[in-house]
Chain A
Amino acid sequence: MKHAILGVAFAAALAVPAFAQDYTIMAPANPGGGWDGTARAMQEVLQAEGIAPSVEVVNVPGAGGTVGLAQFVADSAGDPTRLIVGGYVMVGAILTNASPVTLKDVTPIARLTGDTQAIVVPAASDIQTLADLVEKLKADPGAVSWAGGSAGGTDHITVGLLAKAAGVDPTKINYIAFSGGGEAMAAILGNQVTAGVSSVGEFAEQVKAGTMRLLAVSSAERLPGIDAPTIKEAGYDVVLENWRMVAAAPGLTPEQVAKISADMEKLNSSAGWTKLLAERGWTNTYLAGDAFAAQLDADIAATETVLRAIGLVK
Chain B
Amino acid sequence: MDSFSLLMQGLASAMDPMILLYALIGVTLGTAVGVLPGIGPALTVALLLPVTYGLDPAGSLIMFAGIYYGGMYGGSTTSILLNTPGESASIVTAIEGNRMARQGRGGPALATAAIGSFVAGLIATLMLAFLAPQVVKLALTLGPREYFALMVLAFVTVSATFGDSALRGLTSLFIGLALACVGIDGLTGAARLTYGVPQLMDGIETTTLAVALFAIGEALAVAAMLTPPDGMHKVTGSVSMTRTDWRRSWKAWLRGTFIGFPIGSMPAGGADVASFLSYAAERKLTRHPEEFGKGAIEGVAGPEAANNAAAAGTLVPLLTLGLPTTATAAIMLAGFQQFGLQPGPLLFVMNAELVWTLIASLLIANLMLVVLNLPLIGLWIKLLSIPRPWLYGGILLFATLGTIGVNPSPVELGMLILFGMMGYGMRLYGYPIAPVVVGLILGPMAEQQLRRALSIAQGDWTTLVSTPVSATLLTISAVFLIVPMLMRLRGRGKVLSQVAGDPD
Q: How distant is the Cα of A183 from the Cα of B140 in the complex, in angstroms?
A: 11
Q: Which residue of B lies closest to A72 (CB)?
A: B198
A31 touches B455 (CB 8 A): no
**Selected contact of B330 from candidates A31, A96, A151, CB within 8 Å:** A31
CB of B202 closer than 8 Å to a CB of A = yes
A186 touches B317 (CB 8 A): yes
Q: How distant is the Cα of A225 from the Cα of B292 in the complex, in angstroms?
A: 61
Q: How distant is the Cα of A47 from the Cα of B144 in the complex, in angstroms?
A: 41
Number of A-B contacts (CB under 8 A): 141
CB of B235 closer than 8 Å to a CB of A = no
In the complex where A47-B53, A190-B143 touch, is A71 in contact with B201 (Cβ < 8 A)? yes
A151: chain B residues within 8 A (beta carbon)? 187-189
A206 touches B344 (CB 8 A): yes
B331: chain A residues within 8 A (beta carbon)? 31
In the complex where A30-B330, A192-B143, A209-B345 touch, is A174 in contact with B321 (Cβ < 8 A)? no
A63: chain B residues within 8 A (beta carbon)? 184-186, 189, 201
Q: How distant is the Cα of A101 from the Cα of B201 in the complex, in angstroms?
A: 12
Q: Which of A185-227 contact B (CB under 8 A)?
A: 185-187, 189-193, 205-206, 208-209, 211
A74 touches B267 (CB 8 A): no
**Selected contact of A177 from candidates B50, B143, B187, B317, CB within 8 Å:** B187
B452: chain A residues within 8 A (beta carbon)? 176, 178, 187
B188: chain A residues within 8 A (beta carbon)? 96, 151, 177
A55 touches B50 (CB 8 A): yes
A36 touches B455 (CB 8 A): no
Q: Which residue of A lies closest to B408 (CB)?
A: A75
In the complex where A31-B324, A177-B186 touch, is A206 in contact with B53 (Cβ < 8 A)? no
- Residue-wise, chain B 308-337 has the 8 Å CB interface mask toward A (1 for contact) of 000000000100011110010011011001
* B454, chain A: closest CB distance, angstroms: 10
* B199, chain A: closest CB distance, angstroms: 7
A234: chain B residues within 8 A (beta carbon)? none
Q: Which of A106-114, A142-150, A263-271 contacts B (4 or more CB under 8 A)?
A: A142-150
Q: How distant is the Cα of A208 from the Cα of B342 in the complex, in angstroms?
A: 12
A70 touches B50 (CB 8 A): no
B345 touches A211 (CB 8 A): yes
**Selected contact of B409 from candidates A44, A66, A75, A187, CB within 8 Å:** A75
CB of A300 closer than 8 Å to a CB of B = no
In the complex where A71-B199, A205-B342 touch, is A186 in contact with B334 (Cβ < 8 A)? no
B338: chain A residues within 8 A (beta carbon)? 40, 44
Q: How distant is the Cα of A44 from the Cα of B144 in the complex, in angstroms?
A: 36
Q: Which of B126-174 contact A (CB under 8 A)?
A: 140-144
CB of B193 closer than 8 Å to a CB of A = no
CB of B376 closer than 8 Å to a CB of A = no
What are 26 A-B pairs with beta-carbon distances under 8 A?
Answer: A31-B327, A31-B334, A32-B330, A37-B337, A40-B338, A48-B53, A54-B50, A55-B50, A56-B47, A57-B49, A60-B202, A63-B186, A67-B201, A67-B202, A71-B199, A75-B409, A174-B455, A174-B456, A176-B455, A177-B188, A183-B267, A187-B143, A190-B143, A192-B456, A208-B346, A209-B344
Q: A44-B338, A176-B452 are known; give 5 further A-B pairs, CB within 8 A.
A: A57-B46, A59-B46, A97-B184, A97-B189, A174-B456
